[in-house]
Structure 1
Amino acid sequence: MPLTAGSKPGRVPAAFVRRMKESSLGYLFLLPSITLFGLFLFYPLIQSVYLSLHLTDPRGRVAAYVGLDNFTSLLSAKSFWNSLQVTVLFTLLTVPTGIVLGIVTAALTHVKRPGMRLFQFVFSLPLALSVSTSAVIWAILFHPTLGILNYLLKQFGLLPVQWLTDPSAALPSIALMTVWMQSGFNYIIVLSGLQSISGDYLDSAKIDGAGPIRTFVRIVLPLLSPTLFFLSVISVIGSFQTFGQIHLMTKGGPGGSTEVFVYSIYKEAFINYQYGTGSAYALVLFIIILALTAVQFLFVEKKVHYQ
């Protein structure tokens, strides 16, 4: 280490000691978070990789090393491709609809009018409900004979729908419930993005003679694109990790029409007691989500207009 003016040979500079103390203090503050990440994220990930290369007995103990056989058998199974197809369809049904609903509700309540606080509370209310509570509410709505949805269809002279027992209606029904469950979060995120947009842009557009729809499409939406990009990434990840409402409402049925990817992991590991195959499922899901997120950042982010 080169000597500076006023320093003695063999003596550590005071600036270096100060930086070391600051770094040590920073790592000390990070230690609780690093410990939690290690216990609940990194260790389960390493354990999943280890189990995916082995066969296990019903107690979860390693029985034999099989290498990549779990992955090859997984990719050749019809159940894997069915769950992937169901998950992709579920994502297409929920993510765009949820984002559009969040934009519409946030835009309607962003204006300063009397009573807007009440509507803001109502639109954000689903965020406060748990999955189990939402499942009870929608199970009543979906009831084939006593549910309000079939009652409304009957009033319009339409035939009742078997919402959760018809293979063609089960997944759209769960998607409808999921859009409602996520509407509170989407609404709050989009509303926060709208509130962060400076009013000078809107005043300038009004002076130039732009109408409200043109202003919203040409000015507000581009300025809102960072918020929408964040919401789309989070929504896609969340849709691929959906489990609670599927487990409580349909358990993957009828006929596998609602068996999303995470429920296949649960069924393989905790119903069939195949922890090795279940771990392989989980790693494949991790790779799929990582790839989708990378694609969004590589291609979709180019259309984001940061202020």
Structure 2
Amino acid sequence: MPFVAPQQAKSAQLKAAAKLESAAGARRKEHALAYLFLAPSLLIFGIFLFYPLLKSVYLSLHLTDPRGRVAEFVGLSNYKNLLGSTAFWNSLKVTALFTLLTVPAGIALGLIAASLTYSSLRFMRLFRFVFSLPLAISVSTASVIWMMLFHPTLGMFNYFLAAAGLSPVQWLTDPTYALLSVAAMTVWMHSGFNFIVLLSGLQGISQDIYDSAKIDGSGPFRTFVRIIVPLLSPTVFFLVIVSVIGAFQSFGQIHILTKGGPAGSTEVFVYSIYKEAFMNYQFGTGSAMALVLFAIILILTVIQFTVLEKKVHYQ
């Protein structure tokens, strides 16, 4: 009998070890199956995201010839020259101003349109369709449309100014108005997306909240400012993040409407990268600028998540 208990204990240990080994094998099979399903996506990300990123890091440390071939290793000289360039700081200032002009105005316009069309009155679906139309228009198409509106002699804006007895404005060739004009076009172009997202956020708020506020004697304006807007803060926070990233990546409308002019007044950061890489054929400097832009967007996003998310009210 004294020898039975140790044998039973050893048998139990063997069974426990076998179960652990079986569980570990099952987990390995699950992980292998998961990576098998993820393999196509990882391959696509590797080809179109990770490889270009690593290639940009490599090129940013070198000088290149017009064909993009590496000519000389220069280390961090591209970054030092970039930070000492007045063109770099001008494009950064223009991009920051462009972001300030487009992001708050775009979100405010979308919020107003969503609030006006939230009710279930007749023909509201038609207005929702109209307000969401800019989402279906490409950047190039929208830019061509607004280029005709901004035309100094044939454009509708100057036609209305002339009808009011005012002097015409050189919308795209005057440094005072060029960035404002491009910003106005960008706000309109993004209004469809902002409208749909904010309308979805409004529709996600329970009707009981409106009824409770009405019973407590809260007027429509007070209810909207003190109750609805805080409940919309997660949606607004999402739009702020996406809009800031989109503003820093704006290129198409700048390229079509102003080509960075006049006198660099609309030369945003991405257009500077385009000029440096594909007009001046300085792919090393262009890659360094692209990585700096990546770092700026990353820092801004982290700051927004650190600071702004504290003011977000989740239900």
TM-score tier by shorter-chain length is over 0.9
Q: How does 1:197-236 map to 2 (within 5 A)?
A: 197-236=205-244
Shift of 1:17: 2.5
Deviations 1:23-71 (A, max 9, x none): 2222112111111111111111111111000000111000011011000
1:160 and 2:168 matched: yes
**8 Å contact from structure 1 (residues 3, 9) kept in 2:** no
Assess, with a 3 A threshold, how the Cα gap between structure 1 residues 283 and 9 changes in structure 2: closer, same or farther.
closer
SS of 1:167's equivalent? coil
Given the alignment, which residue of 95, 114, 132 partners 1:124? 132
Given the alignment, which residue of 133, 137, 143 partners 2:151? 143
Partner of 1:31: 39
Partner of 1:97: 105
Q: Give me the whole-angstrom Cα distance separating, in 1, the residues matched to 2:151 and 2:71.
A: 45
Q: 2:165 is matched by which residue type in structure 1?
A: G
Q: Give me the whole-angstrom Cα distance separating, in 1, the residues matched to 2:199 and 2:33.
A: 38
Given the alignment, which residue of 284, 290, 293 partners 2:301? 293
SS of 1:64's equivalent? strand
**8 Å contact from structure 1 (residues 7, 13) kept in 2:** no
Q: Give me the whole-angstrom Cα distance separating, in 1, the residues matched to 2:13 and 2:246.
A: 58
The percentage of counterpart residues that share the same residue type is: 67
Q: Give me the whole-angstrom Cα distance separating, in 2, the residues matched to 1:27 and 1:306.
A: 34
- TM-score w.r.t. length of structure 2: 0.94
Q: How does 1:172-251 map to 2 (within 5 A)?
A: 172-251=180-259
Partner of 1:66: 74
Q: 1:187 is matched by which residue type in structure 2?
A: F
Q: Give me the whole-angstrom Cα distance separating, in 2, the residues matched to 1:28 and 1:64.
A: 41
Q: How does 1:270-289 map to 2 (within 5 A)?
A: 270-289=278-297
Q: Give me the whole-angstrom Cα distance separating, in 1, the residues matched to 2:144 and 2:199.
A: 28
**Which contiguous aligned blocks of 4+ residues in structure 1 show a shift greater than 4 angstroms?**
2-6, 8-12
Unaligned runs of at least 5 residues, structure 1: none
Q: Give me the whole-angstrom Cα distance separating, in 2, the residues matched to 1:70 and 1:174.
A: 30
Shift of 1:7: 2.8
Unaligned runs of at least 5 residues, structure 2: 1-9
Q: Give me the whole-angstrom Cα distance separating, in 2, the residues matched to 1:84 and 1:212.
A: 41
Shift of 1:8: 8.2
Deviations 1:155-211 (A, max 9, x none): 111111101111111100000000000000000110111111111111110110100
Q: Give me the whole-angstrom Cα distance separating, in 1, the residues matched to 2:131 and 2:291.
A: 36
Q: Give me the whole-angstrom Cα distance separating, in 2, the residues matched to 1:25 and 1:224.
A: 40
Q: 1:80 is matched by which residue type in structure 2?
A: F
Partner of 2:4: none
Q: Give me the whole-angstrom Cα distance separating, in 2, the residues matched to 1:52 and 1:195.
A: 47
Partner of 1:256: 264
Q: Give me the whole-angstrom Cα distance separating, in 1, the residues matched to 2:174 and 2:12.
A: 80
Q: 2:258 is matched by which residue type in structure 1?
A: T
**8 Å contact from structure 1 (residues 94, 178) kept in 2:** yes
SS of 2:232's equivalent? helix
